[in-house]
Structure 1
Amino acid sequence: MESYLKCEECAGNVIDKEAGILNRGNLGRLKNFLSRAAQGERLTVGFIGGSITQGFAATEPDQCYAARTVAWLRKVFPNTEFDYVNAGIGATDSQFGAARVQEDLLPRLPDLVFVEFSVNDHSTPHFCETYEGLVRQIYGSASAPAMVLIHNVYYDTGKSAAYYHAQIGRHYDLPCISMQNSIYPAVAAGRLPAEKITADFLHPNDLGHEFMASVITNFLEKVIHDKTQEPQEIFPAPLTENAYEHCVRLQYFNSTPEKSGFEEDMTPQRDITDIFRNGWSAGEKGAYLEFTFRGTGAAVQYRRVKDGPAPIATAVVDENPETACVLDGTFDETWGDKMQLTTVAEHLPYGEHRVHVEITETHAEDKAEFYLVSVIVSGVREEGNTK
């Protein structure tokens, strides 16, 4: 086993790349992208996802699957300049992706986008809807990019949100590439020890990223040689209630909530992975923020610190106790502070609503203040205002 797990060329001996093509999809946009690449146009390739896309556990940024995929494109099309945009942020899901894609990726006018959230999302209808909101924003964006959906997997349990994400892929006739169908079966069958490709049964190491990239580029290679005439593209009506195609993310610089005891964080943000920025912090019981918004739902992002304890807050929409959510600022894991995203209410009647966040419990030994990163409003319409 040791001898043939060292290079991408040998991955075919272990994994089933063909099975990784979960859905071929309409290849019209992708073929157009590859044709433009062959003609030497300058093109932008974007990736959005969680820690796997960001490259967590890869020894260097250029070892992650996203960078390897772009490296393959540069090798195949040596006369083409590819701009690489990695919008991966660890420990985040497609609900946050839908709220940030307009800032973190789409202004770069990507020509090809890979979407990866299948181990960050839970396998529930809620994340089917948030994923659809993200996909619709990218698909309908100004640059009309080709899209490929990537479905990762937990290598100890086989867990993945691919069941729901693939429903969105098929609905929009998009290519879906599955590690659950290609790499995981080799692990489950004992042909590929999980320890060879991941240290924690989730995040690929360099070899795991190499295998991932090989499944993706195998598909791209097939598209290059596919001469089938593609059907006319159709942008279908939403499959879900689609509250997340139109989102607004409220932070200190674009909102004026009523507040008491909370202070704005004006520390400059280094990059998109510098996540605990542009929000508000407070450490006293009774401190609060209240946002008025027009939409159909609200979620709150806040920091949970591993070196706690930290204050506890409560969020509620329209003073309705059924929406009340406890926001515990202490994180019970040790890998780092987590940006928690909690949905307080969704699918409300469209109109004006209020979300109130208040610190309800503090401790003498608190090590950090409560930090509210943002409020994400869903179901926004063009005439909607938030404050």
Structure 2
Amino acid sequence: MEKNSNKILSLWGNILKRTKRFIVPYTIAVILIIVISFFTLQKANTTYGFDETLTVYEKVRDHKTVRYTVIGDSIGRGSGAETPGARWFKILERKMQERGIRMSGEYIVQSGATAFEGLYRLSTLEKPGKSDLVFIVFGENDRKYMAANDFGIIYESLFRKAKAFYPNAEIMAITESSLSSGDFADEIEKISTHYQAAHIDMRSVFKNTGIPPEDLTRDLVHPNGRGYQLYADTIYRQLLINTKKEKEIAAIIEPFNGHLIETFRTVSSFQTKEGFIWKNGYMTSERKGSYLESEFEGNILGVKLLRSPNGGEVKVYIDGEFVTAISTWWPFHRERQLYLASSLSEGKHTVRFEVSGNKPRHNTTGSSVIRISSIIEGIAEY
């Protein structure tokens, strides 16, 4: 019995010795992996620009990652470029990468958008990311729908909202190369100067090349790849100049304009309707003369509706006066937030949407449909 016990103990001793030979190296290896991973992650955090104590110019100087946000229209999204890589922000990313600086972007952009739509989309953003640099690219579409002073109020409201969402970011305002209205360009310059933000006027850049506009654009409005190369080169140079000057980023100071837009409120109830039915989340009709009416109290008014390949035309009246006619055609289904009016007096107003029966020229379908979700009240701050 004692002899058997000794054999068992001897056997267990050998097993433990062998196990120990494997456990100790294995444990050391695991510890090394943990330590290496920790320092790798720390390095990754630094490399990918999570340091919010540095401005975009300090990050460019130190070759750290720069995160940017584009809030804009079709030029903001690079429409007109022959390939995705020929869009201005992708060219800019490559130029910065050549200096060892990684750039990554987020985009709040929509073809045909105005600063009103950009402001609404930014204001309703649930989880804004972090950004070192915000590009604001509007003006060309805005001039078609509003007066310059109204644009200035909306543009400044967007400017301040961007700083509220991205407090550590520089704002770079882009005056689009196709903007023909000097009054709108002046508003962009005045607001940029007021907040000491970065500003680039692409109109003079295009003009100074001496190259005909048709060679720099797809349609005399949207730049082509050659035109977007000018955008990227100009922005790149300005970033390096500002870095060398150790420029301070834009800051929130006293407003330039009065009664800026502080919040939005959507109203989906209509007090009076005729010919419209609720369908798939929208008040819908294609019958000429159908109408919706709603009361509102905001100083600025917009509408949320669906644009689609079979979209029709709707006429808009405020307090009984005709304001505009809106085409709801678009090559694909897309919900939009469209500007209607601003600088409205205090107190209650009434808006009426009436199906005109006219078919937009791009609509080649057999129907012409209006789909309205709600009105958008812009609430001003005094």
Q: Which residue of 1 aligns with 2:325?
A: 327
Are 1:133 and 2:154 an aligned pair? no
Q: Which residue of 2 aligns with 1:149?
A: 173
Q: Which residue of 2 aligns with 1:368?
A: 368
Judge conservation of contact 1:46–1:110 (CA < 8 Å) in 2: yes
Of the three residues 222, 226, 236, the one matched with 2:241 is 222
**Amino acid corresponding to residue 139 of structure 2 in structure 1:** S
Are 1:299 and 2:302 an aligned pair? yes
- What's the secondary structure of 2:261's corresponding residue? coil
**Amino acid corresponding to residue 240 of structure 1 in structure 2:** N
The C-alpha deviation readout for 1:172-202, integer Å capped at 9, x for no partner, is 111111111222233xxxx313232113111
Identity level (%): 21
Q: What TM-score, normalized by structure 1, do the two folds share?
A: 0.69
Q: How many residues align?
A: 321
The C-alpha deviation readout for 1:95-133, integer Å capped at 9, x for no partner, is 211211224597123221001113222272121111111
- What's the secondary structure of 1:52's corresponding residue? coil
Q: Which residue of 2 aligns with 1:25?
A: none
Are 1:246 and 2:242 an aligned pair? no
**Amino acid corresponding to residue 114 of structure 1 in structure 2:** F
**Amino acid corresponding to residue 192 of structure 1 in structure 2:** I
CA distance in 2, matches of 1:144, 1:354: 41
Judge conservation of contact 1:247–1:379 (CA < 8 Å) in 2: yes
Would you tell me which structure has more helix in proportion to its own residues? 2
Q: How much does 1:70 deviate?
A: 3.0
Say if 1:238 and 1:45 are closer, same or farther in 2 by CA, change over 3 A.
same
Q: Which residue of 1 aligns with 2:131?
A: 110
- What's the secondary structure of 1:327's corresponding residue? strand
Q: Which residue of 1 aligns with 2:57?
A: 34
The C-alpha deviation readout for 1:11-42, integer Å capped at 9, x for no partner, is xxxxxxxxxxxxxxxxxx99722324555766
Judge conservation of contact 1:87–1:104 (CA < 8 Å) in 2: no
Judge conservation of contact 1:118–1:153 (CA < 8 Å) in 2: no
**Amino acid corresponding to residue 133 of structure 1 in structure 2:** S
Q: Which residue of 1 aligns with 2:338?
A: 341
My pick for the range that moved more, 157-166 or 87-96, is 157-166
Judge conservation of contact 1:133–1:244 (CA < 8 Å) in 2: yes
Are 1:65 and 2:63 an aligned pair? no
Are 1:194 and 2:191 an aligned pair? no
CA distance in 1, matches of 2:148, 2:236: 29
- What's the secondary structure of 2:211's corresponding residue? coil
Say if 1:160 and 1:73 are closer, same or farther in 2 by CA, change over 3 A.
farther
Say if 1:211 and 1:143 are closer, same or farther in 2 by CA, change over 3 A.
same
Q: How much does 1:93 deviate?
A: 1.1
Judge conservation of contact 1:153–1:159 (CA < 8 Å) in 2: no
Q: Which residue of 1 aligns with 2:285?
A: 282
Higher relative contact order (Cα pairs below 8 Å, separated by 6+ residues) = 1
Judge conservation of contact 2:294–2:352 (CA < 8 Å) in 1: yes
Q: What TM-score, normalized by structure 2, do the two folds share?
A: 0.70
Q: How much does 1:68 deviate?
A: 2.1
Say if 1:113 and 1:375 are closer, same or farther in 2 by CA, change over 3 A.
same
Structure 2: which 5+ residue stretches go unaligned?
A: 1-51, 360-364
CA distance in 1, matches of 2:206, 2:127: 30
Q: Which residue of 1 aligns with 2:12?
A: none
CA distance in 1, matches of 2:190, 2:245: 24
Larger Rg: 2
CA distance in 1, matches of 2:95, 2:172: 16
CA distance in 1, matches of 2:109, 2:259: 23
Structure 1: which 5+ residue stretches go unaligned?
A: 1-28, 267-277, 382-387
